[in-house]
Each structure stands twice: as structure tokens, then as C-alpha cells.
A and B are shown apart, each in its own frame.
Chain A
Amino acid sequence: MDAALKPGKGNQITTLQFILIIHSVQLGVGIISLPKDLADISGTDGWIAIILGWLLSTAASLIMVQIMKKYPNGTIIELIEHYFGKWIGKLAMVVYFVYFLMYAYLIFNRMVLLTQSWIMQQSQTWVLMLLFVIPAYMLIKGGVRDIGRFAEITFLASIWMVFVISTLFKDANWLHLLPVLKEGWMPVFRTVNTTITSFLGFECVFFIYPYLEKKQSASMGVILANTFTMMVYLFITIICFLVFSPDEITFFNDTVISAVKIIEFRFIERFDLVILSCYLMVIAKTWMSALYMSVYCSSRLIVGKYYVHAGILLVAMVAFNYIRSGGWVASVKAVGMFSKFGLWIAFITPVFIWLIVLIMSKFKRWQI
């Protein structure tokens, strides 16, 4: 294991960084189409489902923290190796490697597709990907601590967007939300599936927990991170619901950008271009962090420095995109498949791991 990946003094993150890393892995490209996806199923009641999704994801992340408490000095990989043995540990490495690699690639791909369709129509997606290889490599090489710090600065640098988007409230029509629960609870429940996959990303707790400086604040941290993500989702979704009429909203694919397009200042037109460009930083945080986790697993699995793995994977991603750039439809399809995988990784397996570990840690052999 590389020294730079070892948790411990000099490689620690503060609680705020912990919160922001989780938040930044959650909040990515998904938000741009979220209002439409919600409106498709449950109309303007979709925002209630966000709160339900938040409850579920918070519960799942709390379970993760409970699991990690059983083995505080290592990531989930070490934990599984400790409790279940070397080979199951290797299996876990493979599973998490594939999961996070898919996560990273799908978001990366979605990000460049978005860029291509809104800003740079003439550029190839793989060229746009190439542009992000250097920052990604630099960030991953820095490890968890630098990802945390980068998340902090990006957070500070993107606060202004909230204020700009808030100007949309002057076009808002609050009647769009009424009546609440117009078709009862059932459509809302059916939407929960969509919303909980939007919260995916908190499973990075498994990998960043050992780096947390104050372990006792982990539970509070995951709750705050999820709440924060929920607030952003709620804010954006409600704004989109208020700006567009309930029928109109289902016609826009990238609802948020279409909403932002309404904003226009005297000194700058097409404000959506600027916002989307700056929002790329937020999206980049998501897949770069995910790629880091994936590289963490792969460097445990196969020999080699983790940043070499990162470089190879990044180039491989670009090459894959060059060979097989699927376009928007393929991306939507792949993300749909992936979210099922995510459901297993983030919501279902942790419960099982938790129960088993709870029982096993009663026995002396597995106690630390």
C-alpha cells in the first residue's frame, strides 16, 4: 500500500472536509435532469420524494458509519479482509473497483456530453475528456486530504451560483406546487427509487472514514452531508417546478440549464453558459473522487503506485470514449443500469455487512 494512502497523522481530513467530500460525490451531473425525472413520475409532488430519499440515504450512511466503527483504522477493504478473509477482501476490491470506475466513467461521460451539447457543439467528447485528464490526475495523486481541500475551495467558489439561480424566484409561480399530493402518496413512493439513486455517492464513507480526524463526528458528518445534498436538490427542484408549468417541465431534458437560460443580465447574455462552465467544477469533483476510490482498490489489487493506476485509467477512459462514444441515449441507459448496481452497493449490501460484522465482532477472534 502506498504511503500516501495510509491514514494517520499528516493525512487527515477535518469534519468539514469529510462532509464536503461526501456531498461532492453525491452532487454531480444527476441534478441537471433530476426535476424532469421526478416530474415524469409524480408530477410536481416529486419534491416530497427527495425528502424520503434523504431519509433512506441518511439511514444507509449511518449504517456505514456503524460498520466502519468496527475497524476504524482501515477502509472497507481492510475491514472485509479482517472479518471475511483475504479472498473475499480481494473480491470486494474488484467489486468496489468496478463500481467506482463505472461511477467515474459514467459521470465523466455525462459531463462531457453535457458540455458538448450546450457549449462546445463542434468538439468531440474525447477531446473534452482529454482536457480534464490533467486536473484529475493531479487531484487523485494528492489523495484524500487534497480532495477534501479541493472540495472546500470549490464549495466556496460555487456559492455565488445559488444567488444567481435565486433570481429565478421572480419568475416563480407558487401555484404550480398546489395541490400537494394531488394523486396521493403512491406516485411519490414510486419516485423514491429515482431520488435515492441521486443520493448515491455516500458510499465513499467506506473509503474516507479512516482519514477522518475526529471519528466521533462521523455520524453527524454523514447526516449533515446528506442534508446538505438534500437541500441543494430541493432548492433546484422546487425552483424548476415553480418556473416551468407541470406539463412544460417534462419537455426539457436538462431542466436546470433550461431554467437557468431564462436568467439574463444586461451585461451578459446566455448566463447558462457561464453557470454550466463553472458547474463543471462541481461535477468534476464527483467523478474525480470516485476515480480515486476506484484507484485505491485497484492499487491494492495489482501492484503499482496508485497514481500510475489513475493515469492509466484516465487514458483508458478517454480511449474508450474515442472508440465507443455512445451519445446521450446510451448514457441514459447505462446510468439506469448503473443505478441498480448502486442500489445494491450503497443500500442493500451495507445492511448485510453490518449485521454479519455485528455478530462476528462478538467473538474474540475478530475483535480488534
Chain B
Amino acid sequence: MTNGSLPFVVFVHRRRVHLRIISSPNWHNEETAGTILNTKDGGAAVEFFFRLFKLLTHRQIIMMQQSKEDHTPDRGTVDLSLQANLVQLQAIFSKAPDLIIRTFIYKQTGQKAALAYLCGLVDKNSINNNVLYQLMFEPIADSEPMPTNYLPITIGDLKSTTQWSNIELMLLEGHSILFLEGAELAYSLDTQGWPQRAITDSQIEASLKGAHQGFIESGWQNVALLRRMISTRELKMLELYVGTRVRSKVTILYLEDVTAPHLVEELQKRLMALNVDCIINTGELAEYLEDRPFSLLPQFITTERPDTAASQLLQGRICVVLDRSSSVMVAPVGIAAFFQGIDDYSTRWPVASFMRILRFIACFVAAFLPGFYIACISFNVEVIPLDLILSIGQFRAAVPFPPFIEAMLMELMLEMLREAGIRLPAPVGQTVGIVGGIVIGQAAVQAGIVSNLMVVVVSSTAVASFILPNYDMASSIRLIRFPVMFIASFFGIIGIVVCFMVLVIHLVQLRSLGESYSSPIAPIRIRDWKDVFIRLPVWSMKKRPESVRSLQKTRIGPKHQLKGDDE
């Protein structure tokens, strides 16, 4: 780039004039301006044009950062005087004791300077060693005159801004802001370093043979974890900000040559349409984006494991990383995806297939067994073999309650125990299990409140409901059990069949990001079944699942390796 020949475009957007430098296709944000100002010859030219436009338009020239300016209020620009700037900063952050403003003499110019940051969000080491020390004491290497915008600091990412609204956002995101006396701009230094936990195994999604790194609460780290899994240039990311009060960064990740573009567009559209105060967790985000918010079933997977997310990405799905949340959302998913654990792919396929089938059976048991028991006892006694009914009668003779009440008592007790076990600290949690399971169970039978068989039914239901690898799905299925019990107590087996029908119809009608939820099962896509009820050997799954409508169909094979594309 030569001096004075910077091409740029000015356009008006929402009554504001934008200056956009287009010398390079990816120079379109503030970063660019910062970089240019720091170069030896370009800086003056750009600064000149800035002033020119300010004069011409009497309006603010705002650097391009679309999503930022959409939400933040206009607060004016940085002043020439340092004192005025600091007063303005104090005004913005009143009653914020964590705002640190350090004033000092800038060695290079001998004038006053100030560094501001929020003390909890920055890395103090890098501020002390890489910024303050160098600005205050570091002698200039040679006598050659330095350009006015040169900063002798060792920080990778250096941006400059003139907008108070930007400064505010940067500070809140953990950057530190450097003001210089006589400069009509402020520098934002990349000194982020907020409290963070180490990358550990996920608590709710245990893994036996998978990777042991789980997502943590930092968006960039999570993206990095995924990047580590899929280090290819085809992994594309879209960055958006949601939330009007607190901006949360949302990153959409997908494989460009695999994922169907209409899905990405749809997801982006839904995210852009969000108008909420603040989004804290991925579950909350998922609830805003769901197709059928009143459904019992989760329509997106939220996972805490990078390997799960990566394998979903490779199947052609989209991952959504929300900054500050430790789980990642995957969309679109079908019901089958909730039955697939990532461990399935690292154990031998007959074992994994067995586990899959077990999960499907367990799902049925968890949803329908108590209902079936109630139906058999109170309506369709003929179904039970004679020997069994005699012993049931013996046990139930002492129980005064009808089977429905009996089952409800036990089920509610069990759910309470489960919830209590989670809330209590780990050592006490076990006690709850023992007290609940053994003491209450045994005592309740002896006291004649519930029958023996009911305890068997309820406890096997409980065990079955914990087998699903996905927590959301497991809890939904646990909840389905109650209406089933209710209907079964009125209509017997017929009631259960009707419940099953309602469930199936609901499944069939659900959509996840516009794609069918029941996908490889209905519509029947036999080819996808290799990975639904059973898991066939990985080498036999040459194609990506059809249900995701991926662009690139194959994942194994010579054709794939040669062309990198199929059909």
C-alpha cells in the first residue's frame, strides 16, 4: 500500500456514516484502522481523511463493527485531553470499584498517559510486564525518530478506537485501554485473562474411552478445542452477538463443504431475530431457537464434550458455541442422535450395538413400565400368568392404595431422592441414596404402603432412565412416564397404546431446525440405520447420514480422497 492511495468506501447505514477501507478484502473492521495508523506512512493519510469527513458530515464516523453498534448507545468520541477522557471514563463506570485507572508518564513522549482496565478480567502479569513496564521504562532502541503512533509494547492484538461505546465494550471484555495525552484515540490492548477453570472431563457426560477434555466457560477456548479436533480450513465460523443488555458472543461452526447451507442460514436467521436481555447458558439459547417450544423433547443436543461436537460436525451438523457457557449446542438433530454416545465409536462394534439396543429398550422401560404395571394390576389382570398373580395378590393384600397412587408415591419419592442426591455435596449424596433406596424402600414395603413388586418396578425404571447418554433426553423420558401412568390407570393397556400413538405422532411432527426429528426412522432411511439401532463397524459407514442433507455424501472411499467431493 502506498501513501495516500488508500481506497475506501463511505456508506450510510442507520443514519450513520461509515467509512470502510477496502484495500484488502479482509480489512473491514476497526482492527484495520488500528493497523494502518501504526504503519509508518499510512497513518497520517488516514487520520487526515478522518478529520475531513468529520468536518464534512458533522456526524460521527463510525468504524465498521456492525453487531456492536446495533446495540450499544452512542456515547461520543475520545477527547484530546487526557483529563477529560478520564472524567468521561469515570462517568461511564461510576460505582465500579474494579475499574483500575493507572496514570503514568509515557517515556517516549514524556507526556501523561493512563491505562484503564477492570481488574478481574485482565491478566495482571501481562499488564505489569508487557505494558506498563515497557511504556514507563523501556528506552527507545535507536535514535531514529519513531512515528507518533508507535507503541513500544509487546502485546499481540492492538486496536485503536475513537468511540466511547467501543471502549466500554472492550473494557468489559477484559481489554485494557490506553489513553495518551494529546491523542484523539484510545488503544485497546489484548490483556484478557479472567478467572477460568482448567479443561477437565465433563461432569454430566462421562466418558470411558473418549477424549477427556470437556468444554469450559470460555468461548474462544471452546472454539479452540473444536479447532483442535477438526483442524481443516473447511471449518468455517460465523460470529454473532446476541443480547441487548449483555452481549454474548455466539459462534456458529460448520464444515463448509459438508453442511447444507440452508441450515446455516436458518440458524443464523433465528439467532439474528433474537431480542433478549442476556443469554447465560446454551440451554437457554436452545430454548429460544427451538421449533416447538412446548414440546417435552429437546430439539437440540447440548454437549459438553468436544469429541461429540466434532463428530456431529463431521456428520454435517452445525455447532453453536456460546461464550461463557460450558456446553455447545448441536443442530439439527434427530431422535436417534440422543441415543448415540461418543463412547460407542471407540468400543468394539458388537459391544456398542448391544449398548444401543439396550438404550432403546431402556427408553421404553423408563417411559412405559410403571404404566404397564398399573394397567396390568388394575385393568388387564388376565394378562398376568396365574403363578405371578397369586404372589402379586399376596403382596398387594397389605397395601390399601390403588396401584396408581402406590406408583405415584414411589415415583415421586424416587424423583425427590434423585434431585436431592444431585444437590447435596458428593459425600452426603451417597447417604441419601442409601437412606432412600434401602431404608425407605424396605420400610415402605414392611409398613404396607407399597408392594414388593412396585419397588422392583420403580427401581428398574429408575435404572433404565439413567442409561441414556444425553441428560436432556433422559429427563424428558422420565417426565413422559407420569402421563402414561395416569392414562394407564384409567384405560389400561389401551391407554398405554394411545400414549404411544400420541408420542409417535408428536415425534413425527417435531422439527429440529426445520429438519424432521424422527428422521432415519420415519421417513425410513435404511442406509442411515447402520448407526441408529445398532452401530455397524465404522468402516461400513461410508456415507454421512442422509437425514442431515449434507452436501458431501461420502466420508470414506477413494472417490472422496481424490476429489474431496462426491456426486
Give chain A's interface residues, CB within 8 Å of chain B: 14, 16-17, 115, 119-120, 123, 128, 131-132, 134-135, 138-139, 142, 146, 148-150, 152-154, 156-157, 266-270, 273-274, 277-278, 280-281, 284
Contact = CB atoms under 8 A, between A and B. Distances in A.
A148 B509 contact: no
Contact of B493 (A119, A128, A266, A269): A119
A184 to B, nearest CB: 44
A281 B500 CA distance: 9
B521 A277 contact: no
Contacts of A131: 491, 494-495, 498
Interface stretch (B209-217, B325-333, B380-388, B404-412): B380-388
B522 A150 contact: yes
B33 to A, nearest CB: 46
B509 A146 contact: yes
Given A138-B506, A139-B505, A266 B522 contact: no
Contacts of A280: 494, 497
Nearest to B501: A135
A16 B492 contact: no
Given A268-B383, A280-B497, 19 more contacts: A14-B524, A120-B379, A120-B492, A132-B498, A134-B498, A135-B498, A135-B505, A139-B505, A142-B508, A146-B505, A150-B508, A153-B507, A153-B522, A269-B383, A269-B384, A270-B382, A270-B383, A277-B494, A280-B494
Contacts of A16: 523-524
B508 A273 contact: no
B484 to A, nearest CB: 13
B385 A17 contact: no
B139 to A, nearest CB: 70
12 contacts: A17-B523, A115-B494, A134-B498, A150-B508, A152-B521, A152-B524, A156-B524, A157-B504, A268-B383, A269-B384, A269-B386, A277-B497
A230 B168 CA distance: 75
Contacts of B379: 120
Contacts of B523: 14, 16-17, 148-149, 152
For the complex of A and B, list the 4 residue pairs with the smallest distance between their C-beta atoms, beginning with the closest.
A149-B522, A149-B508, A152-B522, A270-B382
Nearest to B494: A277
Nearest to B491: A131
Contacts of B496: 277
B146 interface: no
Interface of B: 379-380, 382-386, 491-498, 500-502, 504-509, 516, 518, 521-524
B494 A266 contact: no
Contacts of B521: 152-153, 156
Contacts of B492: 119-120
Contacts of A115: 494
B505 A119 contact: no
A279 to B, nearest CB: 9
Contacts of A152: 521-524
A268 B495 CA distance: 19
Contacts of B383: 268-270, 273-274
Contacts of A270: 380, 382-383
Contact of A150 (B386, B491, B505, B524): B505
B356 to A, nearest CB: 16
A274 B498 CA distance: 13
Contacts of A274: 383, 493
A281 B502 CA distance: 11
Given A119-B380, A153-B522, A269-B386, A134 B494 contact: no
A138 B494 contact: no
A273 B382 contact: yes
A39 to B, nearest CB: 28
Nearest to A265: B385
A219 B491 CA distance: 42
Contacts of A14: 523-524
Nearest to A112: B494
A253 to B, nearest CB: 19
A267 B385 contact: yes
B494 A119 contact: yes
A289 to B, nearest CB: 13
A269 B506 CA distance: 32
Contacts of B491: 120, 123, 128, 131
A277 B507 CA distance: 21
A132 B523 CA distance: 24
Q: Which of B495, B500, B506, B522 has the most CB of A within 10 A?
A: B522
Nearest to A119: B494
A280 B501 CA distance: 10
Contacts of B504: 150, 153-154, 157
Q: Which of B500, B506, B508 has the most CB of A within 10 A?
A: B508
Contacts of B494: 115, 119-120, 128, 131, 277, 280
Nearest to B385: A269
Nearest to B495: A131
Nearest to B499: A135
A266 to B, nearest CB: 7
A135 B386 CA distance: 34
A145 to B, nearest CB: 9
A134 B492 CA distance: 17
B497 A138 contact: no
Nearest to A135: B501
Given A153-B522, A268-B383, A278 B505 contact: no
A267 B379 CA distance: 18
Nearest to B498: A131
B503 to A, nearest CB: 9
A143 B425 CA distance: 50
A268 B506 CA distance: 30
B320 to A, nearest CB: 24
A132 to B, nearest CB: 7
A107 B495 CA distance: 19
Contacts of A278: 497
Contacts of B380: 119, 270, 273
Contacts of A123: 491
A277 B497 CA distance: 7
A333 B169 CA distance: 79
Given A156-B521, A266-B385, A273 B493 contact: yes
B502 A138 contact: yes
Contacts of B493: 119, 273-274, 277
A281 to B, nearest CB: 6
B532 to A, nearest CB: 12
B497 A281 contact: yes
B217 to A, nearest CB: 39
Contact of A284 (B495, B501, B522, B524): B501
A132 B502 CA distance: 9
Contacts of A146: 505, 508-509
A152 B501 CA distance: 12
A150 B494 CA distance: 18
B546 to A, nearest CB: 12
